[in-house]
Chains A and B, each alone.
Chain A
Amino acid sequence: MIKEKTANLQNKLINFIIIALFAIGTFFVIGGVFIGWSLIVIALIFWTYRFLKQEDMKLKNFLNIIYLKIKFPAFGLLLSFLLGGIIMYISGYNPIRSYGAMIYGGLIKNWHITILNSIPLIFTGLSIALAFKGGLFNIGAEGQYYIGAMVATWIGLRVNISPFIIIPVIFIAGFMGGALFNVIPAILKIKKGAHEVVTTMMLAYIAAILSSLFIKFNGGNPVTSKHAYITDTIFESAWLTKFDSIIPSANYRLHIGILLAIGLAILVQFFLYRTRLGFLIRVVGESPQTAKTQGISVPKIIVLTLCLAGGIAALAGVTQVLGLDHKMFENLNAGYGWNGIAVALLANTSPIGVIFTALLWGALDAGGQYMARTVQTPTSIVEIIKGLVLFLLLAKYLFTYLKKRRKV
């Protein structure tokens, strides 16, 4: 009895150590202290060792399983880079120098920019992934981004109290704003069958245009303001903590929004796969017919899903304002909506996967900028590579298609 209990305790302790090592390592790596990778590697080794022991598996088989899992995405990635390289070469640019700059820039030199780029993408990616799991397409995520940003700016400009109160309040308010913004598409869908692609898209355009009006009213009026088309700066009490207050060597713009994003991804994963509501959403997504026969109120779930998705996408805007910009610009070229879709699709709509695909996208952008600056290869090649990487979706389908053909 006691032996069991101590064994249990020992197990929990080892678990804790592994998670702690992993988390601390990740924290350092995000902050640009790359020694952190060693902590992550150590944690992974420990975990693998335990996993193999528990499952009584050989290392060879384990590696095989991993290989099978990442075969497709990796294959797609490699192929797109290869094709991108060929296109570069044909267009007269040096692919090796370009890729070198891209990889160095995205993963090392400008790693903090990769992180900063990926933060809003994780949020919008999660929003779209969640909606997708529920069988819905929240294409208007970019509009919800603006709503979140507006709410955060509005409150941040007017309320100046302790960060421990104001920041959670703004997050909640922003979430509600985004959720409410998707109520109209949700109701139109359940009452009138209006496809949410159209309704959320239209609202996204409306939100983008109204955001210019908002900015004019909040410090950006071109007639009266020193900084036309930019709002005033929000109170410092609402600013998200920067990494350099904990890791002094981190870039001064890096903020803890990334931790919030990762946390949310874990939360969404948990919600979808460990809670009843999440289960209901997935059932409705797989087959609304089945859900109905099971007595699930499909319309209610649809509204819930769209509103949750709207709220999560709005958080992208909130973190951007509170963490990075501390004000609102007219970010009309942001593209967080479409890039969010790409990120969600690439991750096969897995919430944890979204973290990684968002980082990939962020790295492509940051690396592309570095490449453009140092090697003078135009950034448009990054757009092509992104498109090719999306083909990786097709690659999966292509593979299955070719396999079927071969069978016949």
Chain B
Amino acid sequence: MNFIGSIINTEFFIAAVRLSVPIILAAVAATICEKAGIINIAMEGMMLIGAFFAAWGAWLTGNPWIGLMFGIFAGTAMGLFHGWATIDLHMNHVVSGAVINILGFGITRYLMVLVFGHPGNSEQIPLSLAAFRFKIPLLNKIPFIGDILFNQTPIVYLTIVLLFVIQWVLKRSAFGLHLHAAGEHPEVLATLGISVKKIRYIAVGFSGTLCGIAGAFLSIENGLSFSEGMTSGRGFIALGANTAGGWSIIGSVIASLFFGAVDALALRIQVLNIFDIYSELFLIFPYVAALIAVGGLVFKSNPPKALGEDYQSE
């Protein structure tokens, strides 16, 4: 039973956090967007584009922070694009999401050839954001949690901060209330003279921003370059996390952490060779977990009432 000790230790939780960050960002992106009434299944495509632009920026300028800016910009642009398609063009939300996913793969492949001359893997970035890892004084001395949460890399900290900010805005600010209303009873908002359109644009644009950050994490903080398809289905697991979490920020975070932990666990079990079974059975872990979570109902499925419904504003 020493195995349990070898697996479940501080490093495991650090890995779980590391593996869940992109999922958390994408899941929260889905939560915010859908709470405002716009279905978003395009996290995968948005993350991929964010990852590419982040790597491009970091490679071009040698400065990963500029890369992060590129990624944020690209993600936000894709988010706004989804918003334009669904809000102004009244396209079916799922269809628009599907198109963006397809576009994500196509655009990144084409840009790879254009910018780097070949598909597959981009050139290595000179400096990655991981080089900017720092400890938060005092807090990182806390045993266990200190190492896990307060000795991390920039985007991880950014995520933690963003989570608090987002939760506060959603629960305590007027905008948060409006956002909630936009997803549940948009007509009510209109009678109050508040533009449903504007709120939805902000929500969907910001969800793109978060996806861009998630993509940047993959390529320039946790990685050293962009590889085609490097999102590997995380966007869809994030979708599952949002659903399993019941369209709440806290729920999405918990579900995402769970998926990250499952991923980290699967890898460690394989290393320790505890069970001599095929590696494929480990590889399906996260997807099975997502399926169970979404169907098994951690929280009851409670989507916003006006989710996906086209809102015609004057």
- CB–CB under 8 A between A and B in the complex? yes
List the interface of chain A (C-beta within 8 A of B). Answer: 91, 137, 139, 184, 188, 192-195, 197-199, 201-203, 205-206, 209-210, 212-213, 216, 338, 341-342, 345, 378, 380-381, 383-384, 386-387, 390, 393-394, 397-398, 401
Query: How far apart sit A210 and B280, CA to CA, in the bound complex (Å)?
Result: 7
What chain B residues lie within 8 Å of A380 (beta carbons)? 106, 109-110, 112-113, 119
For residue B288, which residues in chain A have a CB less than 8 angstroms away from its CB?
202, 206
Query: Given A188-B295, A213-B280, are A341 and B102 also a contact pair (CB < 8 Å)?
Result: yes
Chain A residues closer than 8 Å to B239, beta-carbon distance: 195, 197-198, 201
- Distance in angstroms from A143 CB to nearest chain B CB is 10
Which DSSP category, helix, strand, loop or mixed, fits chain B's interface? helix
| A384 to B105 CA separation, bound complex (whole angstroms) | 10
A383–B284 CB distance below 8 A: no
- Closest-CB distance, A390 to chain B (whole angstroms): 5
Q: CA A201 – CA B237 in complex, angstroms? A: 9
Given contacts A209-B283, A338-B102, A394-B85, 18 further A-B contacts (CB under 8 A): A188-B294, A192-B297, A197-B94, A206-B284, A206-B288, A206-B291, A209-B287, A216-B278, A338-B101, A378-B113, A378-B119, A380-B110, A380-B112, A384-B107, A384-B110, A387-B102, A387-B103, A398-B89
* Chain B residues within 8 Å of A195, by CB: 239, 243, 294
Flag if B290 contacts A198 (CB, 8 Å). yes
Residues of B within 8 A of A201 (CB): 233, 236, 239
Q: For the complex, what is the distance from the CA of A213 to the CA of B237, rounded to whole Å?
A: 22
What total count of A-B pairs have CB within 8 Å?
116
A185–chain B nearest beta-carbon distance, Å = 8
Q: How far is the CA of A238 from the CA of B278 in the complex (A)?
A: 30
* Contact size range, B: 35 or more
Partner of B236, one of A202, A213, A394, A401: A202
Please give, as numbers and ranges, the residues of chain B lying within 8 Å of A192 by CB-CB distance: 295, 297, 301
Nearest A residue (CB) for B237: A202
Q: Does B75 contact A (CB under 8 A)?
A: no
Q: A401 contacts which chain B residues (CB < 8 A)? A: 88-90
Q: A194-B301, A213-B278, A213-B280 are in contact. Are A184 and B295 (CB under 8 A)?
A: yes
Q: Which residues of chain B have C-beta atoms less than 8 A from A342's C-beta?
A: 102
The binding surface of chain A is classed by DSSP as helix
Query: Which residues in A have their C-beta under 8 angstroms from that of B109?
Result: 380, 383
Instruction: State how many angstroms separate the Cβ of A201 from the closest Cβ of chain B.
Output: 5
- Asked whether B89 lies within 8 Å of A386 as measured between CB atoms, the reply is no
10 A-B pairs in the complex with CB atoms less than 8 angstroms apart: A139-B41, A184-B295, A195-B239, A195-B243, A197-B41, A210-B284, A338-B98, A383-B106, A384-B106, A387-B106
Query: Contact: A202 with B240, CB < 8 Å?
Result: yes
Which residues of chain A have C-beta atoms less than 8 A from B41's C-beta?
Answer: 139, 197
In whole angstroms, what is the CA distance A389 to B190 when docked?
36
A383 touching B105, Cβ below 8 Å = yes
Contacts of B113 in A (CB 8 A): 378, 380
Is B107 within 8 A of A198, CB to CB?
no
Complex contacts, A184 vs chain B, CB 8 Å: 291, 295
Among B49-74, those with CB < 8 Å from A are none
Please give the distance in Å from B307's CB to the nearest CB on chain A: 10
Nearest-Cβ distance from residue A331 to partner chain B, whole angstroms:
15
- Give the complex CA separation of A203 and B294 in angstroms: 12
Assess whether A199 is in contact with B90, with CB atoms less than 8 Å apart: no
Residue from A188, A198, A205, A394 in contact with B91 in the complex, judged by beta carbons closer than 8 Å: A394
Query: How far apart sit A390 and B98, CA to CA, in the bound complex (Å)?
Result: 10
Q: Which of B229-287 contact A (CB under 8 A)?
A: 233, 236-237, 239-240, 243, 278, 280-281, 283-284, 287
Chain A: minimal CB distance from B91 (Å): 5
User: Contacts of B107 on A, CB cut-off 8 Å?
Assistant: 383-384, 387
Cross-chain contact A198 with B301 (CB below 8 angstroms) = no
Q: With an 8 A cutoff between CB atoms, is B202 at the interface?
A: no
Say yes or no: B283 contacts A397, CB within 8 Å.
no
| A345 cross-chain contacts in B, Cβ below 8 A | 95, 98-99
- The residues of A that contact B95 with a CB separation of less than 8 Å are 345, 393
Q: Inside 8 A of B90's CB, which chain A residues have their CB?
A: 397, 401
- B114 an interface residue at 8 Å Cβ cutoff? yes
Contact of A383 among B110, B240, B281, B294 (CB under 8 A): B110
B291/A202 in contact, CB under 8 A: yes
CB distance from B107 to the nearest CB of A (A): 7
Complex contact A198–B243 (CB within 8 A): yes
B284 touches A209 (CB 8 A): yes
Contacts of B236 in A (CB 8 A): 198, 201-202, 205
The answer to whether residues A390 and B294 also contact, given A197-B94, A401-B90 and a CB cut-off of 8 A, is no
Q: How far is the CA of A387 from the CA of B104 in the complex (A)?
A: 9
- Whether B102 lies near A194 (C-beta < 8 A) is no
Chain B residues with CB under 8 Å of A384's CB are 106-107, 110
Q: A195's closest neighbor in chain B, by CB?
A: B243
Of A198, A378, A394, which is within 8 A of B294 by CB?
A198
Please determine whether B106 and A393 come into contact, CB atoms closer than 8 angstroms.
no
Q: Bound state CA distance, A72 and B1, in angstroms?
A: 67
Query: Nearest Cβ in chain A — how far from B251, in angstroms?
Result: 15
Report whether A203 and B291 are in contact in the complex, using a CB–CB cutoff of 8 Å: yes
Contact of A212 among B101, B103, B280 (CB under 8 A): B280
- Chain A residues with CB under 8 Å of B94's CB are 137, 197
Residue of B nearest to A399 (CB): B89
A59 to B105, CA, bound (A): 45
Q: Is the CB of B284 within 8 A of A393?
A: no
The 0/1 profile, CB within 8 Å of A marked 1, for residues 81-96 of chain B is: 0000100111100110
With contacts A378-B113, A380-B109, A380-B112 taken as known, whether A194 is within 8 angstroms of B295 at the C-beta atoms is yes
B287-A206 in contact (CB<8A): yes
Q: Report if A341-B110 is in contact (Cβ < 8 Å); known contacts: A198-B240, A205-B284.
A: no
Q: Is the CB of B287 within 8 A of A202?
A: yes
What are the 10 tightest A-B residue pairs by CB atom distance, in nearest-first order?
Answer: A383-B106, A188-B295, A397-B89, A193-B301, A380-B110, A387-B106, A202-B291, A213-B280, A205-B287, A201-B236
Chain B nearest CB: distance from A394 CB in Å? Answer: 6
With the chains together, A401 CA to B91 CA distance in Å? 11
Most buried by A among B95, B110, B233, B290: B110
